Amino acid sequence: MKSMAKMKYHYGLKMRCYPSNQQKQLIKINSDASRFIYNEMVAIGKELMQLRRVKLPIDTVQDRIKQLTMRQNAKQMSNHYQFLEDERIDSLAKANAIQNYRKAWNAFRKVPGVPKFHRKSYRWRYQTNCQYPGQKTALLTNGTVCFLDNSHVKVPKIGLLRVAGSQARLLKRMCETRIGTVTLTKDSADRFFLSMQLASDESFVEAPKADHGHIGIDLNTDNFLTDSEGNIVPNPRYYRTIKGKLVKEQRILSRRQRRAKKEHRFLRDSKNYQKQRLLVAKLHAKVMNQRHNFLQQISTALIKNHDLVVAEELRSKNMLKNHALALSISDVGWRSFLGMLAYKADLYGRQFITVSPRNTTQTCHNCGFVMGINGTVKLTLADRKWTCPNCGTHHIRDWNAAKNILDKGIAKLA
């Protein structure tokens, strides 16, 4: 059977799920165990680093190094801490915790610093894997994690989980489709999710030929984006509409936190604090949901309808210096938007590229004149429309920029 990595197409599936109280308990136990093991690995890693740095040939130090090195795997860790042998804990969850630590370690090699401890939080999370013992062909319905029908998934140790969403399209697939890493999470708004990585040699989506050819998009702050055809997608400002309410509820939350502290109560035992915490978390979740849906719809439409989509590389480093723009940028989520365009381009077999934002706004698309030279004044954010001093063409700033971005993209491909 082919491994996930060897398969051609990959697909992420995230479903809301509705565990029973008993299942919630099991998810918590596994999440706690994963965090414990991860943190234990962090502690061992830190101690080893210090011991090795001093380079003492003393036996006690060398013994300790040997001991710690040995404990860096799931089996040894379970021997050392008896509670990890609890049969409700998924052994793959333990293995994944260790693997995640190693991944973090490898990622941190490139950047100075070592993996940090994971704090206890209202979020739960653990990972397991789907395995296919004795199977010749991997399907969504014959692994250790498997779909029983559209709304039920069997997960090791947890049992049958009810899930939302429409997986019917995926379940109809006859070709080999493998489930890889499976993640169970609870967010701070107490919603549970089941996510899985899928892989296959056949595409996960049907991608009919695109209706339109190429398109350039200019991301800006006046509107969400303007494309090279002159279409404008206005900015959704969910956060701004909900901000007043959020501020008010957050104030109540911190008041309750202060009171609990004054009366020497633990926050976890303070009922009113917890009620309010959940309310605030739900408000945040609502904004995030709306934004996510918006970005999904726009990015899918762009990719589905065009062979080539060109956008600017983000220059948020410079732009975030400007505080007035900072809120808008984090608000609209351009970075996740570009990420979506990239993976959807793969999914639908389209092309998505980014180009340098240099002069895309300042250049006249008609004659190539660049504003700011020959004594002309550079356009500012306030200039929504302008006229080229060289050829006299009248421009809408963002539309002109989008056309330049598309040209740059085509030039880059040529």
* Residues annotated as catalytic (active site), given as ranges: 218, 312, 398
Minimum CB distance to Zn ion, residue 239 (Å): 38
Q: Is there binding between residue 311 and Zn ion (CB under 5 A)?
A: no
Q: Is there binding between residue 401 and Zn ion (CB under 5 A)?
A: no
Q: Is there binding between residue 369 and Zn ion (CB under 5 A)?
A: yes
Q: Which long-range contacts (CB under 8 A, 24 or more apart) does 281-284 make?
A: 281/122, 281/187, 281/188, 281/189, 281/190, 282/189, 283/242, 283/245, 283/246, 283/249, 284/188, 284/189, 284/246
Piece of 57-65, 92-100, 203-211, 359-367 that binds Zn ion (CB under 5 A): 359-367
Residues 239-298 that bind Zn ion (CB under 5 A): none
Piece of 71-79, 83-91, 342-350, 384-392 that binds Zn ion (CB under 5 A): 384-392
* Closer residue to Zn ion (CB): 339 or 392: 392
Q: CA-to-CA distance for 402 and 215, rounded, in angstroms?
A: 8
* Closer residue to Zn ion (CB): 308 or 388: 388
Cβ-Cβ contacts under 8 Å for 268 (sequence gap 6 or more): 274
Minimum CB distance to Zn ion, residue 367 (Å): 3
- Total chain residues near Zn ion (CB under 5 A): 8
Piece of 255-263, 331-339, 360-368, 406-414 that binds Zn ion (CB under 5 A): 360-368
Piece of 30-38, 183-191, 364-372, 395-403 that binds Zn ion (CB under 5 A): 364-372
* Closer residue to Zn ion (CB): 181 or 366: 366
Minimum CB distance to Zn ion, residue 221 (Å): 24
Binds Zn ion by CB under 5 A, chosen from 203, 290, 351, 366: 366
Token code pair at residue 85: 């042998």
* Closer residue to Zn ion (CB): 31 or 361: 361
384 near 399, Cβ under 8 Å?
no
Binds Zn ion by CB under 5 A, chosen from 43, 207, 367, 370: 367
Q: Is there binding between residue 370 and Zn ion (CB under 5 A)?
A: no
Q: Is there binding between residue 391 and Zn ion (CB under 5 A)?
A: yes
Q: Is there binding between residue 44 and Zn ion (CB under 5 A)?
A: no
Q: CA-to-CA distance for 414 and 411, rounded, in angstroms?
A: 5
Q: Is there binding between residue 388 and Zn ion (CB under 5 A)?
A: yes
Binds Zn ion by CB under 5 A, chosen from 142, 203, 390, 410: 390
Binding site for Zn ion (CB under 5 A): 364, 366-367, 369, 388, 390-391, 393
